[in-house]
Amino acid sequence: MLTQAGGGLSPSMKATQCWGLLKYLPLIIGDMVPADDEHYLFLLHLAELVDLIFAPRFTKGMVGYMKNFIADHLAMFVGLFGDEVSIKPKHHFLVHLPTIVLKSGPLIGMSCLRYELKNAFFKRCCHVVCNFTNICKTLAYRHQQFALFSCLSGMHQRNTVTVRTSCCVAAFTLPHCTMLCDTFGIAATDDVYVAHNLFRGSVQYQQGHHFVIDFCGDDHIPVFGRLEYFVSIAGGSEWYMLVHRYNTIGFMSHFHSYVVTLTEPPGYQILSLSDLVDFRPVCCYLKTNFCDETRFIRLHYHVW
């Protein structure tokens, strides 16, 4: 539970934790909040603004839209909290973000969150190391070792695929044998390699993860898929994903998420890792309301 203590939130959270809470809070409490609640609408507006700011690409029209969106957000903030909370410098910095995007490109490339994650490595080492005689030398030495390991293993390269556990089975033993044979031009008796998890760079993909696999229509509605397993026919040199496609019903603003359903009859698709629209997995949440079950998927950023 979040409480106000000493001018801040208790318990305190890091920037990534606050971002994660903002992303998924509408899904957690959305069904308990009236649709016309002005404070909840402000929360949704803030979530949309954050998605907008972290968009990976922009056009000049999108930058103009973001400029107006920031003005609306500040006006809503003053209208709701102007008598209790004063405008902070961070609110003023928002006004300059559209100009920065026009001059320097998407803001996601300038975010310091990724660089601050490096602090976790040194904090973890400090917890392990018991000798603090010259801790700076120890941390520098361990960081050099980790950097060398990353270069030798290809961990820092996104397209480097590492599979730790796989098995060799005949194609006819798999439930999607016909699709595999048609896609790869193999016989049902040929052997294929199957894995349920792998690493692509430093990102781990597991069975059951969800991905954006395509965009459809003029509105660029995302199409999602659930990973069933990985398959390779060349001795593990190149891996493909077999995904279960979802139907995207639409975007539900009250939960700030997309509503999806499984295709009936089940539809499957084979993709290479380079075919993914976004390399990051997305989370699918199942909300149960009486006898109904609804699946929601929340994206990391605004889709144009």
Domain co-membership, 181 together with 293: yes
User: Looking at residue 178, which CATH number applies to its domain?
Assistant: 2.30.30
What percent of the chain lies above the pLDDT cut of 90? 38
Residues 73 and 128 occupy one common structural domain: no
Number of domains in the chain: 3
Give residue-wise pLDDT tens across range 267-300: 899 999 888 888 889 989 888 875 678 899 998 8
Q: Same domain, yes or no, for 110 and 121?
A: no
* Segment 108-112 mean pLDDT: 82
pLDDT at 159 over 90: no
| Structural domain range at position 268 | 161-298
Coil vs helix vs strand at 178? helix
Tokens of 110: 């300038």
Residues 104 and 121 in one domain: no
Q: Is residue 51 part of a domain?
A: yes
Structure tokens at 12: 């305190």
Amino acid sitting at position 225? G
Position 162 scores a pLDDT of 84
| C-alpha span between 213 and 228 (Å, rounded) | 14
Give 258: exposed, middle or buried? Use CB within 10 Å, 0-12, 13-18, 19+. Answer: buried
Per-position DSSP letters for 36-62, written without gaps between them = T-HHHHHHHHHHHHHHHHT-S---HHH
pLDDT top residue among 217 and 6: 217
Please tell me whether residues 139 and 189 are part of one structural domain: no
Is residue 303 a part of any domain in this protein? no
pLDDT in tens, 20-74: 888 889 988 988 999 899 999 999 999 999 999 888 888 888 899 999 999 999 9
Which contiguous run of DSSP H or E holds residue 251?
Answer: strand 240-252
Instruction: Give the pLDDT confidence score for residue 304 in this predicted structure.
Output: 59
Residue 304 lies in a domain: no
Residue 207 sits in the same domain as residue 289:
yes
Same domain, 200 and 256: yes
Are residues 146 and 214 both part of a single domain? no
Please say whether the dihedral angle defined by the alpha carbons of residues 245, 250, 252 and 253, taken in this order, is positive or negative. positive
Residues 125, 194 within the same domain: no
Asked whether residue 146 is assigned to any structural domain, the reply reads yes
Q: Is the pLDDT of residue 96 over 60?
A: yes
Share of the chain above pLDDT 70, in %: 93
Mark which of 85, 114, 143 sits at the end of a domain.
Answer: 114
In the predicted model, is pLDDT for residue 9 greater than 70? no
- Chain Cα centroid distance, residue 74: 27
Label residue 1 by pLDDT band (50, 70, 90): very low
Residues present in the chain in total = 304
**Taking the model in full, what pTM does it have?**
0.81
97/124 same-domain check:
no
Q: Are residues 179 and 145 in the same domain?
A: no
Position 96 in a domain: yes
- Residue 118's φ and ψ, nearest 5 degrees, are -60, -25
